[in-house]
Structure 1
Amino acid sequence: MKLTLASLLVATLVSIEVHAAQPELIGKVYDIQTQALLYQETHSFADTTLKTSYTDASGNVIGQREVQFKPNGQVNAYQLTQQAAAITESVERKQQSIDMSVSAAGKQTQQEIDISQDDEVVIDAGFSNFLLRNWQNLLAGKKVTTRFASTAQMDLIKVQLNQVDPQTSSLADNGDTTGIVMFQMRLANPLIRWLISPIEVGYYADTKQIAYYQGASNLSKASGEHYGDVRVIFERQPQEGSINAE
């Protein structure tokens, strides 16, 4: 059975570069096939904490997330609670391990993965900080890899990131590519890469603020069925004091 990217990655991207309260960043999430509005993401950031509220087209809260960052931009811990689907997942970075937990359908699954202090493991919203740290290498045409903490797989999976031409990306058919820098993320292992569709993210070249995302949602419906691949359009923020979020 072909896997969706959601079974491996929680594709929510946030960058922190300041420590004061920031304006909210709004993302409208659409069904790729029908273009219908599925839900809205509202991201707010203060100090080292990111909070995200997910609301459906009727304004009902269907999920909430809280992410704790270290001063260096790494994610220390996060928790995603989906009230409608009755699913809670969390990841915590410790000195010698990455601890994962998922509670769904009355069953809790836990995993502890050993790491060394020097291991770079991307957790949830820390992905965008990883991308921005490698911005120049990516623009130079290099491919960058890292390990990502996947609660679906209860493991660390290796992913690859590279720049793509906006004119050949999904954005070319769904929006204005002017001033947008596009990147693609996929599994690093070429033997199983075909199983999972890549995701695409677009950033404004001048502010490095996220503008566009296409790929797997990180939410499930009340029925437990995954939302599947979605398209997210972000409201552009002022250059001064902007934040990034999927």
Structure 2
Amino acid sequence: MKQIATLLACSLPLTGIAADMRFTGKATPPDSDNVIYEERHVVEGECTGGLFRPTSQTVTYVRGDANTFAKKTLTYDQSPLRPSVDFQQPGFNEVMDIRNRNDSELDIKWQTPEGNTETSTVAITEKLVVDAGFDNFVRRYWSEVTSGETVAFDFLAPTRSKAYGFVLEPTDDDRINAAHTVRIEPSGTILSFLVDPILLGYNENGALTDYLGLTNIRKDKDSNYRAHIRYTVETTPDCELTR
């Protein structure tokens, strides 16, 4: 009977075990050590088959004495690459709401700093990545990235209600002190003249250590901060981030 019970247990489908990941990022200007703001991330998810899968994420943006000035919540119930997003910057009266509808289309509602509300719909393709889904995208293609391959994808520009072609590729840059450094840049020639590449750093386990590039935090009504964000991982799930 004991052997039968063991065989039955081994044949049952693996169920997820609740897990989370917490990390904090300090954003500084690319050429300075003066902290502009902090990002406090809490990613909730589950370990299934020894691999971590995120289900939701909250990001709290703080300055100085822990004064919260912006907040973002993400839900990965439809796809780890295309979360639904609710991002608010009250100081600029700005709200960006992105809803993933059955992983077939995105409904976008943007309350602009000027006080207008713009709505749009974007069709979803398998290559589309949304917001912080880029982090999960890197881990999904971890073996390709760490072996020197280039991966093409589309990234959503929600304020333009459009997705643009980008490539993800390994690189070396002395500004990033990490086990692995990757670069995200536009695949189109014209856009490459308008958009600077983004550099990302990862440790050996697949956790984000660095972000260098344009952020989603406004410097003023007309521009966002460009920053180097260095992350400190506080807790990790009891399973692998990559495979």
TM range (shorter): 0.7 to 0.9
- Cα RMSD for the two superposed structures: 2.3
Q: Does 1:57 align with 2:56?
A: no
Structure 2 counterpart of 1:193:
192
Structure 1 counterpart of 2:208:
210
Structure 2 counterpart of 1:5:
none
Q: Does 1:148 align with 2:155?
A: yes
Q: Which runs of 4 or more aligned residues in structure 1 lie more than 6 Å from their structure 2 counterparts after TM superposition? A: none
Relative distance call for 1:25 and 1:239 in structure 2 (3 A) is closer
1:202 deviates by 0.4
Amino acid at match of 2:18: A
1:145 deviates by 1.0
Structure 2 counterpart of 1:125:
132
1:242 deviates by 8.3
Taking the aligned partners of 1:31 and 1:243, their CA distance within structure 2 comes to: 32
1:198 deviates by 0.3
Q: Give the one of 27, 33, 36 matched to 1:35.
A: 33
Contact 1:183 1:202 in 2 (8 A): yes
The higher-RCO structure (CA 8 Å, 6+ apart) is 1
Instruction: Tell me which moved more, 180-189 or 192-201.
Output: 192-201
Deviations along 1:53-112, one digit per CA (max 9) or x if unpaired, are 000123211100000002752334111001112111021222432222210121011111
Structure 2 counterpart of 1:98:
106
Structure 2 counterpart of 1:182:
181
Q: State the SS of the aligned residue for 1:37.
A: coil
Amino acid at match of 2:183: Q
Taking the aligned partners of 1:52 and 1:138, their CA distance within structure 2 comes to: 26
Relative distance call for 1:152 and 1:71 in structure 2 (3 A) is closer
Deviations along 1:105-152, one digit per CA (max 9) or x if unpaired, are 21011111234xx63311111111111111111222221111111112
Taking the aligned partners of 2:21 and 2:146, their CA distance within structure 1 comes to: 28
Q: State the SS of the aligned residue for 1:219.
A: strand
Residues paired across the two proteins, number: 215
Taking the aligned partners of 1:35 and 1:227, their CA distance within structure 2 comes to: 18
Q: Structure 1 regions of 5+ residues with no counterpart? A: 1-17
Taking the aligned partners of 1:242 and 1:66, their CA distance within structure 2 comes to: 23
Q: State the SS of the aligned residue for 2:216.
A: coil
Larger Rg: 2
Taking the aligned partners of 1:121 and 1:76, their CA distance within structure 2 comes to: 11
Taking the aligned partners of 2:127 and 2:181, their CA distance within structure 1 comes to: 23
Relative distance call for 1:136 and 1:63 in structure 2 (3 A) is same
Structure 1 counterpart of 2:48:
none
Amino acid at match of 1:232: I
Contact 2:83 2:133 in 1 (8 A): no
Structural mapping, 1:148-167, within 5 Å? 148-165=155-172
Taking the aligned partners of 1:78 and 1:71, their CA distance within structure 2 comes to: 12
Amino acid at match of 2:77: K
Amino acid at match of 2:37: Y
Q: Give the one of 215, 230, 233 matched to 1:233.
A: 230
Instruction: Tell me which moved more, 29-38 or 77-86.
Output: 29-38
Q: State the SS of the aligned residue for 1:228.
A: strand
TM-score by length of 1: 0.79
1:43 deviates by 0.6
Amino acid at match of 1:111: S
Taking the aligned partners of 2:20 and 2:221, their CA distance within structure 1 comes to: 33
Taking the aligned partners of 2:85 and 2:160, their CA distance within structure 1 comes to: 17
Structure 1 counterpart of 2:11:
none
Structural mapping, 1:9-24, within 5 Å? 20-24=18-22
Contact 2:20 2:235 in 1 (8 A): no
Structure 2 counterpart of 1:112:
121
